[in-house]
Amino acid sequence: MISKSDFVRGVRCSRLFWYSKNSELPPASLEMKFFSSQGKKFEHRVHELFPNAINLSHLSHNDEIITQTNQNLKPGKTIFEGGFFYKNLFVKVDILESVNNKWNIYEIKSSTKVKPEHKIDLGFQRYVLEKLGLVINKCFIIHVNNKYVKNGEIDNKEMIVTVDITKELPGETDIEREISDLALILKNNKAPEIELSKNCKKPGDCDNKNICWSDLPEYNVFHLNDWRKYWNLYKKGIVNIDDIPSDMEFKPKDQNILQAIRSNKPYIDIPAIKSFLDNLNFPLNHFDFETFNTVVPIFDNSSPWQQLPFQYSLHVEQENGNIAHFEFLSRDNKDPRRELLNSLKTNLGDKGDVIVYYKNFEVLRLKELVKVFPEEEEWINQVIERIVDLWDVFWDFSYYNPIQKGSTSLKNVFPALTGRSYSELNIQEGMVASIQFYESHIEEKLDNKEDIRRDLLKYCGLDTEAMILIINHLKELVKK
């Protein structure tokens, strides 16, 4: 059987399709489970716009779903989660609406826009229903409006966007060709051998990427910065860095990466690093936000999927080496922004640089706080003017260690320079921190709230401590 999820996977990658049908995909991650639960919350809001619909989402067996769907497939009816089976194809339609003896199909997505894979999804649904004799009028994607700002009760009509994409769907010939290809793959006892492609990373990293990419050499062309270059090399059969012709031209960033790998030691641009360090102004205020977001805004003056800061860590380093640590972590399920901002104003002085790693994120959060608290605009803008991005040193590849494997993220740069990592922490990445806070503090559905608080404080604290240690190591490199 091929479901609509199977079909979308198959269009993306036949190998991914085979693994999904043979139950060999890795289990759903915490992140995937979170987004799935958020999707359900958005779906519930959409359902409220169709108050008289027949809801079959409580049914779990396909045979029962199909039977109930057929019994309710009548003029004037609207059905949630109706099921349809044609040959070896099965689809569940989010919303099927009867309109003048025809049917409208609605697919609910918690994204903020229509994506290419949504068109494939709806095209497959339309194909199955038309083969069963239903006359399809129009096909819609329902997604969230991230420009909507909550003010009081949620206004579903304002928060929800409905887009007619009927004319943008793949045609019957394309659908049938893909179905035939996937049917052949289902008969295979082993996964098809295919080349890596841009589909491995778009949209998002493939669930199967760790399997398909596991045989790559330790230092391979995908560690390069120029994605056009590394795909061109791969298509020519050049995968190992050692196999790249020595006379091939590269942009400066990739030249630095190649020099580091070929020499088996870090590339260090001493003048560039020294210039960065010489321009720092003490005290150095090493700063980091942690945020969470939800598809349906919880607090007034917030929007769908808006990143809301709930925690910060601040290490203030004086020129004599003295360091003071300040931190804030919201304690309850109330809007944390006002209390966080008050704490930050108390602990962040008006002198010295504010050091962050990837300033675009922190700057955007601060600008969003201005919109909520316009009376704080002057102070927040002064903070923004003082921000210095430590990431610049690594984004420019003024320093590059081969063990970074192409990444300039803090989680990769920190161990490359210091030998330390986040591996000893229970929370090791920002998305996990976000979800753990949301589930323990906002939804209050976890019993180990105090344990999670300790883990969150350690994680965010290490983010800013890591910046201190990275700068100290850069200073040592310059001295040498």
What's the pLDDT score for residue 71? 97
Q: What's the residue count for the chain? A: 480
pLDDT of residue 105: 99
pLDDT-derived band at 192, boundaries 50, 70, 90: very high
Q: What is the pLDDT of residues 235-255, one digit of tens each?
A: 999 999 999 998 899 999 999
Average pLDDT score over the chain: 96
Residue 208: which pLDDT band, with cuts at 50, 70 and 90?
Answer: confident
Burial class (CB in 10 A: 0-12, 13-18, 19+), 379: middle
Express each pLDDT in 284-341 by its tens digit: 999 999 999 999 999 999 999 999 999 999 999 999 999 999 999 999 999 999 999 9
Which backbone phi and psi does 352 adopt, to 5 degrees? Answer: 85, 170
Please check the confidence at residue 170 and state whether its pLDDT lies above 90.
yes
Q: Is the pLDDT of residue 202 over 90?
A: no
The answer to whether residues 352 and 458 touch, using CB atoms and an 8 Å cutoff, is: no
pLDDT at 104 over 90: yes
Distance between CA atoms of 461 and 17, rounded to whole angstroms? 41
**pLDDT confidence of 161, banded at 50, 70, 90?**
very high
CA 204 → CA 12, 17, 468, distances in Å?
A: 11, 16, 32
Task: Average the pLDDT over 42-57 and give the result.
Answer: 97
Reported as a single tens digit per residue, the pLDDT across 322-338 is 999 999 999 999 999 99
Question: pLDDT at position 211, please?
Answer: 87
Task: Look up residue 244 and give its two tokens.
Answer: 């790249």
pLDDT at position 237: 95
CA distance 194 to 203: 18
Res 183: pLDDT = 95
Residue 219 has pLDDT above 90, yes or no: yes
DSSP letters for 393-441: HHHTTSEE-GGGTT--SHHHHHHHHHS--STTSS--SHHHHHHHHIIII
Q: d(Cα 62, Cα 83) in Å, to the nearest integer?
A: 7
Grade residue 30 by pLDDT with cuts at 50, 70 and 90.
very high
Give the mean model confidence (pLDDT) for residues 96-123: 98
All structural domains of the chain, each given as residue ranges with its CATH number in brackets, are 2-186 (3.90.320), 216-264 (no CATH), 273-479 (3.30.420.10)
Q: Is the Cβ–Cβ distance between 234 and 196 less than 8 Å?
A: yes
- Confidence at residue 203, expressed as pLDDT on a 0 to 100 scale: 84
Tell me the average pLDDT across 425-444: 97
pLDDT-derived band at 210, boundaries 50, 70, 90: confident
Q: Which helix (H) or strand (E) holds 346?
A: helix 337-347
Q: What is the mean pLDDT of residues 443-447?
A: 89
| pLDDT given for residue 80 in this prediction | 98
Find the mean pLDDT for residues 67-83.
Answer: 97
